Amino acid sequence: MSDTTFFVDAVGTHAGTALERCRDRWGPATGLLADGYHLSSRDPMRWESAIVSDLSCQQNLIRSLDGLARLTGAELWQQVAEEWIGNALQKLRDDESDLWYWGGHTAWDLGTDQILRGNHELKCVFPYYEYLHRIDPESTSGFIDAFWHAHIWDWSTLLFNRHGEYESWDRTTRFGKSFDGTDSLPLLENTALSFINTGSDLIYSATEAYRLAGDRAPFDWGLRLLSCYEAIRHPNTGLAGYQFNHREPCRVRQSFLGQMGERADVNETSVITNNVIGARYGRVAVCLLNQAMLLGDEGAPFVDLVCRDLDALARHSWQSNTGTFQPALNDGTLLTPEHTEDVGYCQPVKLRPVKANGLLLLSYARAFRVTGNQAFGQMAHDVARAMGWGDLDTGPVNFQTLGSISTQTEDTRAHGGQNDACALEALLDLHAASGDERLLTSAVSLGRRLVSSHIVDGLFTSSGSNSDDVTGIDSAVPVALLRLAAELSGADETTPILYPNITQFDPKVVVARRK
């Protein structure tokens, strides 16, 4: 069996298993899928008594089905995906707001065919809008409009909140606002939280509205929002934080000991914790570079921001002697857990160093692929070496004998072997940028290792072969394997791009609204 066939068959088995075991059969027919199941009993995963279906937690599966359809030409995969998604987008649409019932705090209960209603939240979800728009362009375009208008609080500053409400809004004012620029940033505002994890999803949706529907208005606003995250960059180091507003009294200074707890420049816009490194310099960086590849010349602002970010992180955070990225203030002051106490926003756990991992490897490898900047290529090689891969220039890596593939990030919400999938994507990017066939050989070895280590009973599980019995169906590994298969086969048809997304349903808002 050829490598290409091996990988495609593994993904096909995964997709078939997920569809068979999670297709709704527990109550009124909804046409939706459960988010996961118990491997031993094959009963659906539940929260309290609810069988949760959250379409935002199934985007990698959609990408996998679409990739299988493109690579194999099998109509079955396309028919299944079209029927599932076509039904879901209609069923999950809120008529009042045009938002979909999905995300961090809202989902669907398959047992009762009822909404688990909280509020609307996307944080580094990066939905597969290309496919959603292909199936239902009207609903998808309407959702992107609603997403912006439900979350933006002040169009003059673009201050927003990660939470939006399912309620009506004035569609006659669609993107008809004015932006005052970034001179006033960072903002002092105690209620909204301009986290880049939601900000990136807003920017991503705006670029997709332009790319898929030719809608320039949201794209222009997306560029304005991007400029807000650029505006908080430190003028000397180039480091930038997580948000462009902060609070007083300051939750960050509350955590710090000694003089640092009294510095006015220490706040939520200037501290770069391990979570910030994973989000802004990892997930968001890859998302923006993906969009730049799709947009061509018009994606230059995305490339510029990411390149400045990654250059600054390499110069001020990367510790080559330990193979870690160290949390810091944006002025370059390195931070350790000993700087803080367990109160406020910046507890010691957030200042632990970030070990070299597949996500950050992909950031630098993709930046090298997009820009050709050798410094990014060298950083990718350095990160790979710190991960235990040895020198990529000396020959193929034998992942069958390697101890571990990648280090898990601090953010435990990233399910589905995402770091391992990112590591595979990084090898393919380095190969694309350099043409070094040894890197493709390494990628094949890694791909085979992922199949052997992540499949349990036919499914690429949430936590690989170490699954604790409950697994989600949204593994990122199949998406990376399909890209590998496409490159090995020389397929003209490209497969869906991997986005290092976060998929989770956190029902705390649902619980709060019961009271």
What H or E segment, with its residue span, contains residue 46?
A: strand 46-47
Whether the pLDDT of residue 10 is over 90: the answer is yes
Among 214-223, 373-382, 412-421, 448-457, the least confident range: 412-421
**Could you tell me the CA-to-CA distances from 295 to 124, 299, 302, 488, 499 in Å, in that order?**
20, 5, 10, 25, 16
Give the per-residue pLDDT at 491.
Answer: 82
Phi, psi torsion values for 376, nearest 5 degrees: -70, -40
Whether the pLDDT of residue 420 is over 70: the answer is yes
Of the pLDDT bands very low, low, confident and very high (cuts 50, 70, 90), residue 416 is low
Whether the pLDDT of residue 410 is over 60: the answer is no
What does pLDDT average to over the chain?
Answer: 95
Q: What is the pTM (predicted TM-score) of this model?
A: 0.97
Report the pLDDT averaged over residues 373-390. Answer: 97
Domain 10-23+129-164+179-490, what architecture? Answer: Alpha/alpha barrel (1.50)
CB 447 within 8 A of CB 396: no
What H or E segment, with its residue span, contains residue 16?
A: helix 3-22
Give the tens place of pLDDT for each residue, 310-334: 999 999 999 999 999 999 999 999 9
Inter-helix orientation angle 300-316/358-371, to 10°: 130
Whether the pLDDT of residue 411 is over 60: the answer is no
Q: What is the DSSP string of 282-308?
A: IIIHHHHHHHHHHHGGGGHHHHHHHHH
Q: What is the DSSP string of 116-183?
A: E---BB-SS----HHHHHHH-HHHHHHHHHHHHHHHEEETTTTEE-S-B-S----GGGTT------ST
End-to-end CA distance of the chain: 58
Phi, psi torsion values for 115, nearest 5 degrees: -75, 140
Of the pLDDT bands very low, low, confident and very high (cuts 50, 70, 90), residue 415 is low
More confident residue, 155 or 406: 155
Whether the pLDDT of residue 405 is over 90: the answer is no
Among 86-100, 314-328, 413-427, the least confident range: 413-427
CB 34 within 8 A of CB 18: no
Q: Domain map of the chain by residue range?
A: 10-23+129-164+179-490
Give the per-residue pLDDT at 188.
Answer: 95
Record the tokens describing residue 71, joined without a space: 């690579």
What is the C-alpha to C-alpha distance for residues 18 and 396, in angstroms, rounded to an integer? 33
Give the per-residue pLDDT at 493.
Answer: 76
Whether the pLDDT of residue 357 is over 90: the answer is yes
Instruction: Please name which of 255, 258, 229, 257 lies closest in space to residue 242, comparing C-alpha atoms.
Output: 229
Percentage of the chain lying above the pLDDT 70 cut = 97
Give the per-residue pLDDT at 462.
Answer: 84
More confident residue, 28 or 180: 180
Please identify which residue in the block is written with the tokens 């096909």: 12
Report the pLDDT averaged over residues 111-122. Answer: 97
What is the C-alpha to C-alpha distance for residues 404 and 393, in angstroms, rounded to an integer? 20
Give the per-residue pLDDT at 433.
Answer: 97
Give the per-residue pLDDT at 169.
Answer: 95
Give the per-residue pLDDT at 101.
Answer: 98
Inter-helix orientation angle 374-386/358-371, to 10°: 160
**Could you tell me the CA-to-CA distances from 210 to 216, 217, 280, 290 in Å, in that order?**
5, 8, 23, 15
